[in-house]
Amino acid sequence: MILVTGGAGFIGANFVLDWLASGEEPVLTLDKLTYAGNLENLASLQGDSRHTFEQGDIGDAELLTRLLAQHQPRAVVNFAAESHVDRSILGPDDFIQTNIVGTFQLLEAVRKHWGGLSGQAQAEFRFLHVSTDEVYGSLCATEPAFTETHRYEPNSPYSASKAASDHLVRAYHHTYGLPVLTTNCSNNYGPYHFPEKLIPLLIVNALAGKDLPVYGDGMQVRDWLYVKDHCSAIRRVLEAGRLGEVYNVGGWNEKPNIEIVHTVCALLDELRPRTDGVGYQSQITFVKDRPGHDRRYAIDARKLEKELGWKPAETFDSGIRKTVQWYLDHPEWVAHVQSGAYRDWVQTQYEASPIV
């Protein structure tokens, strides 16, 4: 069995579903079920004896100790995190508590559990920490992509809290010998993505006839990684990664945000055209840029390819088409996640922003 923390969120849920679709090893999912943690993401596993769900916080040391003793997982995969830059700017407290203090509590519980194992069980145990390219800071247009040795230069409360968690994971390996692995991924997209992030927000707003908000000039560049490719990379690192190492996971798809907006609009024009015949690009609205907005992220994933033979299976064209189609095919999921709290957030973040 493996323990997956944050397994009801976007990437975590995709990982759990992908793991159980690929083999028979059971999964224990732990999730606090905050606004972005959604049991509907795991609804297809209802009644599956291979899957156990526990609601709880990685900051709850007593709960962690009980779960580790009861289920004896051979590995822990840590997705649990507050992960939205905008939310971290408006309210950094939750990011400090979950991403730093929570990761510390999880590491402590796992260290004690691992220390009590013996022989082969201890030797084969793994702790895989899922992080982000945002810990590396921002690149100018001509700089080479982030490698695993790039200096950490986080620029938001979110990325700073993730950087701190990465350093804790590294320290627990070097100080205590805990068998850790860390992955730093680029921007994910795909099914079950909570519609506060760019791509799902565009799809949801477009279909609802609302503005498509674009920060600043829309020329911020990101590397885009289809979530199922990310899941396959994590499986591969967990299987064969060198202990204590960091592996960057990217999609080799650097694109400015405005190009993403235009691509989504074009796909919706094709797959679900507006009844008035007007293109969805007419809904694009430029809004005031967010504070400290990083200009460019880019991931160099050659280490992962060279050492472990991993490459993404999806191009951006194939992945974004699958993503848009998934949202069109799952209107009930979209409706259910758009709670009052979600509507209030969107209004606070975007509708109150002055037009550029």
Strand 254-256 to strand 221-226: parallel, antiparallel, or no bridges (unpaired)? antiparallel
Give 3-state DSSP helix, strand, coil % of the chain, rounded to 5: 50, 15, 35
Residue 27 and residue 39: Cα distance in Å, rounded?
15
Chain centroid to CA 37: 12
Q: Domains in the chain and their CATH numbers?
A: 2-191+227-251+295-313 (3.40.50.720)
Residue 2 and residue 112: Cα distance in Å, rounded?
17
Give the model confidence (pLDDT) of 47-81 as tens digits: 999 999 999 999 999 999 999 999 999 999 999 99
Predicted TM-score (pTM) of this structure: 0.93
Query: According to the model, what pLDDT value does residue 87 have?
Result: 84
Give the model confidence (pLDDT) of 204-258 as tens digits: 999 999 999 999 999 999 999 999 999 999 999 999 999 999 999 999 999 999 9
Give the model confidence (pLDDT) of 130-167 as tens digits: 999 999 999 999 999 999 999 999 999 999 999 999 99
Q: Active-site residues: which are they?
A: 133-134, 158
- Burial tier of 347 (Cβ tally within 10 Å: 0-12, 13-18, 19+): exposed
**Residue 292 pLDDT level (bands cut at 50, 70, 90):** confident
- E strand or H helix at 184, and its extent? strand 180-185
